[in-house]
Amino acid sequence: MKDKNENIIMFPKWQNDLEKEAKQALEDKAFTRAYKALQQLYNNGNNSYEVMTGLLICMMELDLQLEAEALCESLIETKDSHTAGYIHIYATLLFQSSQYPEVIEFIEDSLSVNNLDADTLKQLEEIYQLSRELQNQKDQEILKEYEGKLHTALLSQNSKEQWSIIMSMNELSWKKDIPILREMLEMPSIHPVIKSAILDYYITIEFNEKLTVTKFDRAITFTPSSHNKLITEEFYKDILDYLEDMETNEPSSFQLIDSILHMYAYVFVPFLPSEEEYPYVAEAIRRYIRSSFDLKVEETQIDKVTEIITEQIEYAQTVYRLIVEN
């Protein structure tokens, strides 16, 4: 809100008339009329607590949610004797528009930096608890919806739909353990890329229980909270170190290495090569790229490990693109 008439002198009678008009309009629930009178008072320098709270009430009733939030935020920032009241109003604003996660975060932040009176604390506690309850109900509804979609995608063996659902879940404001995801990690029929996406989800929520992951006829116990990332930066860096010469001698080919290595790692995680096998991975990538570009490949006998990893890289290219890129 701008002080459009800041140079106009508000005479006492005019101010008194506007205050009476605004008060009567509020009592009559004539919020448009009250809003206009209060705006005139505010624009002419009257920013009393009564005027500001009246404006906020009118904004809420007139569905001016964003304007009300912006005004309330600016009033809270002033940190005057009415800050507690504005904090309560702002929490109420967010609550009435069903912004429960925002309510919870705002109240937690407010309690940590403001010395609030007992009445305000009690009011905020009530809003906080109710917001948590309602958000939990909302989360359960969303959870059931996603579980239903996943069950349908599983029955139809639609891997692309499974991928899409899990990606959508990653965009939610909350992250929870979803039993069906844990079950999918152990199902032989689930696509390896889908299992990697599920592991990434559990790492994001810092899930601290052990998960059993089966891939390629192998099984492993995996604790998500012990991992910062699905695939470590060190894994990429250490393998790329063996391919530095390609960056200088074959720059066009080198540009493909990141994507090839990512696809390979994403498909096979958590069953990635050991550090002792990194040189074989690098050599397999080198051979794969050169054969893809019909470039000359050294006529040396390929060892068994490099041959296996080359086949894995070719496989990863196909199955990754089938789910993620098509």
Residues 210 and 257 in one domain: no
CA 313, CA 283: separation in Å to the nearest integer? 11
Is residue 187 a part of any domain in this protein?
yes
- Render each residue's pLDDT in the chain as its tens digit; 326 residues: 544 444 455 667 878 888 899 899 999 999 999 999 999 898 888 889 999 999 999 999 999 999 999 999 999 998 889 999 999 999 999 999 999 999 999 999 999 877 889 999 999 999 999 999 999 898 888 888 989 999 999 999 999 999 999 998 887 767 788 889 999 999 999 999 999 999 999 999 999 999 999 999 999 999 999 999 999 999 999 999 999 888 778 777 777 898 999 999 999 999 999 999 999 999 999 989 888 766 555 555 578 999 999 999 999 999 999 999 86
Residues 28 and 126 in one domain: yes
CA 270, CA 211: separation in Å to the nearest integer? 12
The dihedral built from the CA positions of residue 155, 160, 166 and 172, taken in this order, carries a sign that is negative
Is residue 151 a part of any domain in this protein?
no
Q: Which domain holds residue 105?
A: 12-136
The two three-digit tokens of residue 14, written as one number? 């005019």
The owner of tokens 């397999």 is 284
Is residue 168 a part of any domain in this protein?
yes
Residues 107 and 17 in one domain: yes
Angle of CA points 308, 312, 315, to nearest 5°: 140
Residues 194 and 252 in one domain: no
Is residue 84 a part of any domain in this protein?
yes
CA atoms lying within 13 Å on the CB side of residue 106: 24
Which CATH number does the domain housing residue 90 bear? 1.25.40.10
CA 155, CA 148: separation in Å to the nearest integer? 11
Residues 31 and 87 in one domain: yes
Residue 77 burial by CB count (10 A; 0-12/13-18/19+): exposed, middle or buried?
A: exposed
Neighbours of 147 (CB within 10 A): 15
Q: How many domains is the chain partitioned into structurally?
A: 3
Residues 112 and 17 in one domain: yes
